[in-house]
Structure 1
Amino acid sequence: MVSFRPLTEDEYPAYLDYFIDDYAGEIATNYGLSQHDSVARAKQEIAEMLPEGVNTHGHVLLSLVAPIDQSDRHVGYLWYKPDTMMRSVFIYDFHIFISCQGQGLGKQTLRALEAHLHEKGFKEIRLRVAGDNARARHLYESSGFGITGINMSKSIVGLAEKTP
């Protein structure tokens, strides 16, 4: 069974290394920015969202731990922000390490999170998933999440050249 523990300040640099690289890849793929610009944007956004790192008020950063090979092992990360007024949480990041994927840990984590939040009086879990992330979409949909909207974009670069 997956359990949670607070992400430590010592673990935060490794989290940033993973997150910035992963998020920059998503930015580059979905918004057409260069790798350099995507990394810069990812760094800027996380610095704005988590100015105090693991101690940023109102945000929860967790290490995911699961019993593997007779010992508890760090298997991923979870970052969410509770909204006590709306009794909901928004998941900003959820990652199972690649070496630990395919073992049901994603579904276990979501079930454990749901039970934990329900005990605390929360009523809803929200998140955003990239349109091209089929694996994550499958996990969320098979765990009972429903689509509440669709992000769309259209490039207007070069529009002036096409206009007569």
Structure 2
Amino acid sequence: MLMFKPMRADDYSDFLDYFIADYATEIAANYGLEHSVAKDRAIDEINHDLEQGIDTPGHSLVCLVDLQANTERVVGYLWYKVDTKMGEIHICDFYVFPSEQGKGHGKQALRLLENEAVKAGVRQIKLRVAANNPRAKNLYDACGFHVTGINMSKQIAALERSDGRNG
């Protein structure tokens, strides 16, 4: 059985260790940036989005906890925002540890989130999936999510002026 448990400070530190490395890899892969630049961007974004860490208003950060044989084992993380005015939840990050994938934790977590949504009067859950993450897309498809758009980007070089200088 899976449950959500609010992150504590030590959980948040572990979450940041995972998140920054993972997000930097995604940024580098999807936007063609050097890994060091992507890591700096990941750090800047998380510091901006979660200015007060686990106490940032409007954000929920939970550990996915598997309850078996009277023990609690963290198997992943979920970060989401509830917007009751718009009637939606936005999943900012969802991660099941690789050793725990394929055991149904992802589906259970999404069902728990749906229950939270109903309690909050929310009727829609939104998220973004990286193009290079087919495992996540398959999970969301299996849980009834559908594509509502496609993010696209193009890397462009600085234009060369007629005098031969960039700019």
* Pairwise same-fold verdict (TM > 0.5): yes
Q: How do 1:36-75 residues align onto structure 2 when only pairs under 5 Å count?
A: 36-68=36-68, 71-75=71-75
Matched with 1:6 is 6
**Shift of residue 67 of structure 1?**
2.4
Tell me, yes or no, if the aligned pair for 2:91 and 2:126 is still in contact at 8 Å: yes
Paired positions, count: 161
Letter aligned with residue 97 of structure 1: F
Matched with 1:133 is 133
Q: How do 1:9-158 residues align onto structure 2 when only pairs under 5 Å count?
A: 9-68=9-68, 71-157=71-157
Structure 2 Cα separation of the partners of residues 7 and 129 of structure 1:
23
Unaligned runs of 5+ in 1: none
CA deviation vs aligned residue, 1:105-140 (integer Å, no higher than 9, x gap): 101110111012112211110000101100000000
Unaligned runs of 5+ in 2: 162-167
Q: Provide closer, same or farther for how the CA distance between residues 47 and 15 of structure 1 changes in structure 2, counting only shifts above 3 A.
A: same
- TM-score (normalizing by structure 1): 0.93
Q: Percent identity between the aligned chains?
A: 50
Tell me, yes or no, if the aligned pair for 2:3 and 2:67 is still in contact at 8 Å: no
Structure 1 Cα separation of the partners of residues 138 and 92 of structure 2:
18
Structure 1 Cα separation of the partners of residues 70 and 106 of structure 2:
20
Tell me, yes or no, if the aligned pair for 2:79 and 2:91 is still in contact at 8 Å: yes
Letter aligned with residue 44 of structure 2: Q
Letter aligned with residue 62 of structure 1: V
**Shift of residue 69 of structure 1?**
5.9
- TM-score (normalizing by structure 2): 0.91
**Shift of residue 70 of structure 1?**
5.5
Structure 2 Cα separation of the partners of residues 45 and 116 of structure 1:
26
Cα-Cα RMSD:
1.5
Structure 2 Cα separation of the partners of residues 55 and 70 of structure 1:
29
Tell me, yes or no, if the aligned pair for 2:65 and 2:73 is still in contact at 8 Å: yes
Structure 1 Cα separation of the partners of residues 58 and 76 of structure 2:
21
Structure 2 Cα separation of the partners of residues 82 and 111 of structure 1:
16
